[in-house]
């Protein structure tokens, strides 16, 4: 209790050292011009197609990055416009599918698909930190994506940002 007889506010363990979150559009990846508290709508003002999602700065994708959002049951919730190009399919064909139907660890024999599953589940729960893994399309062997997986929301999900190694 404080000296005024009111309870004192304290940071929860593990929450006080969290980095600030950035908003980004789940479709085009753009960042709003105004800071989060001043954004009036959850719909992106630039493309009018995506919902604004928050993520730690090191997990938030850049505006031109390919990415997808995956929930804790490992179902794909959203695919960015650039993610559609990288994965070779449109968002409606990906949403609702299990993430391992599209992506698996590049060295599946050594890492096993459970390594991707573990990283996505922890991120989608808001646990852990941003992790990196090399992935490939589940039906291709010659393509590699350098991926960054981190928490985002609301709603809670994992943001999986892909790069082709040239970035």
Q: Give domain status of residue 29, yes or no.
A: no
Q: Give domain status of residue 23, yes or no.
A: no
Domain of 107 in residue numbering reads as: 59-163
Domain count for the chain: 1
Cα Dmax for the chain: 66
Q: Give domain status of residue 142, yes or no.
A: yes
Q: Give domain status of residue 103, yes or no.
A: yes
CA dihedral 86, 42, 38, 162 (to 10 degrees): -20
Q: Give domain status of residue 85, yes or no.
A: yes
Q: For position 85, which CATH number holds?
A: 3.30.450.20
**Edge-to-edge order in the sheet of strand 76-79:** 76-79, 67-70, 157-163, 145-152, 131-137, 103-105
Per-residue pLDDT of the chain (167 residues; tens, 9 = 90+): 556 666 665 555 554 455 678 899 999 998 887 665 556 678 888 888 889 999 999 999 988 899 999 999 999 999 999 999 999 999 999 999 999 999 999 876 656 667 899 999 999 999 878 999 999 999 888 889 999 999 999 899 999 999 986 54
């Amino acid at each position: 209790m404080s000296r005024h007889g009111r309870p004192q506010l304290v940071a929860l363990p593990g929450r006080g050292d969290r980095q600030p979150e950035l908003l980004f559009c789940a479709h085009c990846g753009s960042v709003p011009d105004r800071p989060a508290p001043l954004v009036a709508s959850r719909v992106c003002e630039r493309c009018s197609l995506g919902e604004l999602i928050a993520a730690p700065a090191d997990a938030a994708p850049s505006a031109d990055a390919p990415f997808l959002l995956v929930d804790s049951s490992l179902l794909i919730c959203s695919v960015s416009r650039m993610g559609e190009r990288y994965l070779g399919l449109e968002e409606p064909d990906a949403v609702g599918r299990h993430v391992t139907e599209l992506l698996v660890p590049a060295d599946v024999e050594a890492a096993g698909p459970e390594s991707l599953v573990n990283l996505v589940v922890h991120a989608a729960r808001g646990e852990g930190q941003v992790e990196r893994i090399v992935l490939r399309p589940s039906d291709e062997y010659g393509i590699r994506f350098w991926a960054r997986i981190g928490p985002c929301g609301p709603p809670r999900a994992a943001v999986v940002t892909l790069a082709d190694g040239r970035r």
